[in-house]
Copies of this chain bind each other. A is one copy, B any other.
């Protein structure tokens, strides 16, 4: 229901992964109900059916790139909108039961992506340990806790949860790795503009029009709307047909963004609005407002609209 803050949250599970850690940075979620989902489609369906108010799912990772399944799920089915983004550092830790020492580790449970990202550290400090693939970072911690493995590569959140202790932190080869999650809800009025917002869109271009993508970017550029990200996903029809996901600067409530959206609506085969929401800094740091380019602020838009009104009425001065 628009205006009512969400209380029932679903997130990409299992428990004790980065997704849960990200969800806990949202105060309403910390106080509310948090349910893990087995997959992104399951999480989104849960919101679509009204079983949950909002779903937190991964959107983009600085190492692995776009999360294709989230895109694919968003362009089909009932519309959902992003109301918030959460960016958290991907800081892997090596955790084990309290009695374990580094020297005593023979086996390590890890999700394949996690062990791949920690390859250099493992080679340097535990060259002889056997790495066992498990299905999630949470499963790795659970296995170490249960004594199935000597240690686990996992998210910081799992340490306390499974009664483990941290043998080493920041063991990733990419110290600045981060993941961007989005909180999805059923449609409602977007959050208030903050002066540093993102507007996310999915656009289908007219494939028989030469330069259609250039035309899309020009509609944005001419209104001073900056494109911060573009991803393509196949539409499934046939090779060479894509839907493009755009992240733009600004908020749908702003004049320049509103005019650019209308331009896209007119020239694209289809546009799906995926939300306007505050740009998040790493780990929840609020981002500073960024003023729009000269001539493109809301007062500039208001002035131009008033002027046009005078022209149309014949009131020149």
Name A residues whose Cβ lies closer than 8 Å to a Cβ of B.
Answer: 2, 60-66, 68, 79, 81, 87, 174, 176-178, 180, 187-190, 210-211, 213-214, 217-219, 221-222, 226-234, 236-242, 252-253, 258-259, 261-263, 265-267, 273, 282, 295-296, 300-301, 303-305, 307-308, 311-317
Q: Which of A219, A258, A262, A263 has the most CB of B within 10 A?
A: A262
Contact B304 A273 (CB under 8 A): no
- Closest residue on chain B to residue A309 by CB atoms: B258
Given contacts A65-B234, A230-B232, A266-B300, could you give 10 more A-B pairs where the C-beta distance is less than 8 Å?
A: A65-B232, A81-B314, A176-B237, A187-B314, A210-B226, A213-B227, A229-B232, A239-B282, A267-B295, A273-B311
Contact B64 A68 (CB under 8 A): yes
Per CB-CB distance, the 9 closest pairs between chain A and chain B, nearest first, are A262-B304, A266-B295, A187-B316, A189-B314, A188-B314, A79-B316, A265-B304, A62-B239, A214-B217
Q: In angstroms, how far is the closest chain B Cβ from the Cβ of A183? A: 15
- Closest residue on chain B to residue A68 by CB atoms: B65
Residues of B within 8 A of A227 (CB): 213-214
Copies per complex of this chain = 4
Q: In angstroms, how far is the closest chain B Cβ from the Cβ of A263? A: 7
